[in-house]
Amino acid sequence: MKKALIVFEKEWLELRLQRALLLATLFLPPLLTVVAIAVFVIIGVVPAAGGGGRGLPLIPELAGLSPTELGQVLVGRQFSVLFLLVPIFIPSVLASYAIVGEKRERTLEPVLATPIETWELLVGKALAALIPALAITLASAAVFVAGILVFAVSAQVRELVVTPGWVLAVLVDTPLLALIGVALIVVLSSRVNDPRTAQQISAVLVVPVLGLLFGQLAGVVVLGPGLALGIGVILAIIAAVALWVATRLFQREVILTRWR
Amino acid sequence: MAHAIETHGLTRRFDGRVAVEDLSIAIEAGTVFGFLGPNGAGKTTTVRMLAALIAPTDGDALVAGHALGVDDTALRRSVGILTEQPGLYDRLSARQNLRYFARLYDLEPPRADAQVERYLHLLELWERRDEPVGTFSKGMRQKLAIARALLHEPAVVFLDEPTAALDPEAARTVRDFVKGLRAEGRTIFLTTHNLPEADELCDNIGIFQRRLLRMGSPAELRAGLFGAGTIVRVVGDAARYVPVVRSLAFARDARAVGETLTVELDDPDTRNPDLVDALKAAGARIRYVERLQHSLEDVYMRLVGGHK
């Protein structure tokens, strides 16, 4: 494990030297958080048009909310789902540069010639993609929650935005999604030579999360603790399979003779 | 003398295509072994097998005292490799690049730093230690890659085309450095296309094209393929002396071009006085007598060309 940390250190050092990449990826969650809270606050202070007291008929749990409450809930929920998307996007970008980039620059062979085990190299690179992404996402999510708790116009809004299901999804499902994203990048690395291609293909992972977003907006899906844990179990199985395939492809022999 | 590298029937196939076939060699410790062959001959595959990067399909090998496939991590710790591409991290400085690899080679931080400093000084890169490697010239990058292969003081070093695409000055520095490594008692496995370089550096040479075609010291290879000979430069047309030389029992053949007479014979040191006497008796006025030297390129072309 010591060498995985050495790899992680080096990846982090390289990332710090790529200012544009760093800014483009790690500043996204804080930016989203600021925008989310700002919009949430504006909805809460600007007088609502209409003045009716009824929620959307399609979503029973929103019935009876004031227009201001309804606005805050809808905005809060839309932004809350973005915290499930970001941990897919950021590790995919970082891992694609860490693995496909290294393949393209032909820097892998000297590393593979050292006494490092391939799993240590893979873990080091995966950690370098996962840790910054999850840390910044969870920190931003915490700020988002604090913003909701402070600026919500009522306790009902707080309860409808910061639900146990959403908290569980952020804590359990997003790390798994990020892990799948990294494993997918490793799998793609054996075939593509451009980090951007790998990112574009791995973007397919956002589709299920978008389904969750639209399902929730339409009132078809309610992200409760049960659903969040159920999704977590499915994601854990997918992650295990994806990691198994990734480790099969991330072997000295395969990298040096099969990766093109 | 102990062997630093020994292979027995080493073979590697890729999807039915044979890249390396039945390679059996023994390389003495502390020598420079040149591994020559055309592009696609299987040299890099051989180096990768010996450095435990890929596994052989058949055969076995002992490298730096480690049997291939038994404890490959220990084997990798005992060898250094300069890969065909330098493979350096352009954004990191020379020092950061080396420090990363020193740590991967299990050097603890204080020793890693000391080794990095030592090799940056030795390869004249210390002044630019903190500059990004992306700003380095090709020669500097190659020197840095060589330093990387040596940080952990390996007993066996694989150098894959160390002077390829370098300017003459940088190539000279690298060659001098390789000589220094041999003087330290390291075993060098050198693949190169540069035949004069191989002639200059190598104690032994293997000429290889999927399989080993011939192996020996440069002198042995030349003598084994072409035999010995003498060149005599005379005043006037040398052709008139060809029948005289051919009549000598010890001369295997003679040919003339202009004023140059080339005589093939088995033991020039003993026979040259008799040859000169015979020519003088035939009225020849002799300008020079020289040993016939075939280049390693002649050897290589005959073996590789003949194999094709």
pLDDT digits (tens, 9 = 90+) for B164-218: 878 888 888 889 889 999 999 999 999 988 888 888 899 999 989 899 988 988 8
Chain A contact present for B135, CB below 8 A: no
Asked if the structure places residue B307 within a domain, the reply is: no
* B76 to A115: CB separation less than 8 angstroms, yes or no: yes
CB A260 within 8 A of CB A199: no
Q: Does B223 touch chain A (CB under 8 A)?
A: no
- How far apart, in whole angstroms, are the C-alpha atoms of residue A32 and residue A90? 13
pLDDT in tens, B28-52: 999 999 999 888 889 999 999 999 9
For residue A166, the one-letter residue type is W
Instruction: List, for residues B206-237, the tens digit of each pLDDT value.
Output: 989 899 988 988 878 777 666 778 999 999 99
Q: Cβ separation of B85 and A109 shorter than 8 Å?
A: yes
**In a 3-state reduction of DSSP, which class is residue B59?**
strand
Whether B102 and B168 share a structural domain: yes
| Same-domain check for residues B132 and B237 | no
pLDDT computed for residue A217 by the predictor: 67
Percent of chain B at pLDDT > 90 equals 60
Which residue in B has a C-alpha nearest to residue A111's C-alpha? B101
Average pLDDT for chain B: 90
Position B296 in a domain: no
Structural contact between residues B105 and A114, judged by C-beta atoms closer than 8 angstroms:
yes
Domain holding B254, by residue range, is 229-291
Q: What is the pLDDT at residue B66?
A: 94
- In-domain check, residue B301: no
Domain housing A112: 2-257
- Residue A10: pLDDT over 50: yes
Is the ipTM of this structure higher than 0.85? no
Chain A, chain B: beta-carbon pairs less than 8 Å apart: 68
- Check A252 against B87: CB less than 8 A apart: no
In a domain, B297, yes or no: no
How many angstroms away from the CA of A113 is the closest CA of chain B? Answer: 6
* pLDDT of A49 higher than 80: no
Which of A17, A113, A116 is closest, CB to CB, to B81? Answer: A113
> Do B188 and B138 share a structural domain?
yes
Compute CA distances A83 → A80, A145, B285, whole Å: 6, 11, 97
B305 within some domain: no
pLDDT at B122 over 50: yes
Confirm if B221 and B295 have CB atoms less than 8 A apart: no
What average pLDDT does the segment A122-131 reach? Answer: 87
Domains in chain A, number: 1
Residue B247 lies in a domain: yes
Residue A80 has pLDDT above 60, yes or no: yes
B176 in helix, strand or coil? helix
Q: Which has more pLDDT, B259 or A186?
A: B259
Residues B239 and B211 in one domain: no
> What distance in Å separates the CA atoms of residue A28 and residue A38, rounded to the nearest whole number?
15
pLDDT over threshold 80, residue A180: yes
- Return the pLDDT at A55: 47
Claim to verify: residue B122 and residue B218 sit in the same structural domain: yes
Average the pLDDT over A209-230 and give the result.
Answer: 76
Average pLDDT in the B149-163 region? 93
> What stretch of H or E contains B102?
helix B94-104
Contact B73 A117 (CB under 8 A): yes
The amino acid that residue B70 corresponds to is: V
Same domain, B75 and B195: yes
Indicate whether B169 belongs to any domain. yes
The CATH number that applies at residue B257 is 3.30.70.100
Q: Does A131 touch chain B (CB under 8 A)?
A: no
Looking at A31-45, A49-63, A119-133, A198-212, which range is the least confident one?
A: A49-63
Assess whether B138 and B258 both reside in one domain. Answer: no
Q: Assess whether pLDDT exceeds 60 at residue B308.
A: no
Least confident of B206-210, B253-257, B298-302: B298-302
Rounded to a whole number of angstroms, the CA Rg of chain A reads 21
* Count of structural domains, chain B: 2
Are residue B100 and residue B240 in the same domain, yes or no?
Answer: no
The candidate with the shortest Cα–Cα distance to A173, out of A121, A118, A256, A234, is A234
pLDDT per residue over B7-25, tens digit each? Answer: 999 999 998 899 999 999 9
Mean pLDDT to the nearest integer, B242-264: 90
pLDDT of residue A182 exceeding 70, the answer is yes
Q: CA-to-CA distance for A77 and A95, rounded, in angstroms?
A: 29
CA torsion B80→B84→B85→B87, rounded to 10°?
-20
Angle at B107 between CA B101 and CA B108, to 5 degrees: 120
| Predicted local confidence at residue B234, as pLDDT | 93
Terminal C-alpha separation, chain B: 35
Contact yes or no for B124/B148 (Cβ under 8 A): no
The per-residue pLDDT for B224 is 67
Where does a domain end: B223, B247, B276? B223
User: Does residue A85 surpass a pLDDT of 60?
Assistant: yes
| pLDDT of A51 over the 50 cut | no
Task: Please give the pLDDT value at position A189.
Answer: 75
Q: What is the DSSP letter of B255?
A: E
- In angstroms, rounded to a whole number, what is the distance separating the alpha carbons of residues A195 and A92? 9
* CA end-to-end span of chain A: 29
CATH code of residue B181: 3.40.50.300
DSSP state of B135: G
Phi, psi of B134 (to 5 degrees): -60, -20
Which of A146-155, A174-183, B171-180, B289-298 is predicted least confidently?
B289-298
pLDDT cut 90: percent of chain A above it: 14
Residue pair B275/B241 in contact by the 8 Å Cβ criterion: no
How confident is the model at residue B49, as a pLDDT?
A: 95
* Nearest beta carbon to residue B104 from set A108, A111, A257: A111
Check if A143 contacts B (Cβ < 8 Å): no
Q: Is B35 on the interface with A (CB under 8 A)?
A: no
- Could you tell me if residue B34 is inside a domain? yes
Same domain, yes or no: B137 and B12: yes
Q: Is the pLDDT of residue A110 over 90?
A: yes
Ranges A82-96, A230-244, B54-68, B132-146: which has the least confidence: A82-96
In this predicted structure, what is the pLDDT of residue A260?
66
Residue with tokens 């088995």: B266
CB contact under 8 Å between A256 and B76, yes or no, is: no
pLDDT tier at A50, thresholds 50, 70, 90: very low
Task: Identify the pLDDT of residue B115.
Answer: 95
Indicate the pTM of the whole model: 0.80
Which run of H or of E encompasses A228? helix A225-249
Amino acid B221: pLDDT: 78
Pair (B167, B241) in one structural domain: no
Q: How far apart are CA B251 and CA B265, in angstroms?
A: 5
- Per DSSP bridges, beta strands B286-291 and B26-28 are unpaired
Chain A residue numbers with beta carbons less than 8 Å from the beta carbon of B135 are none
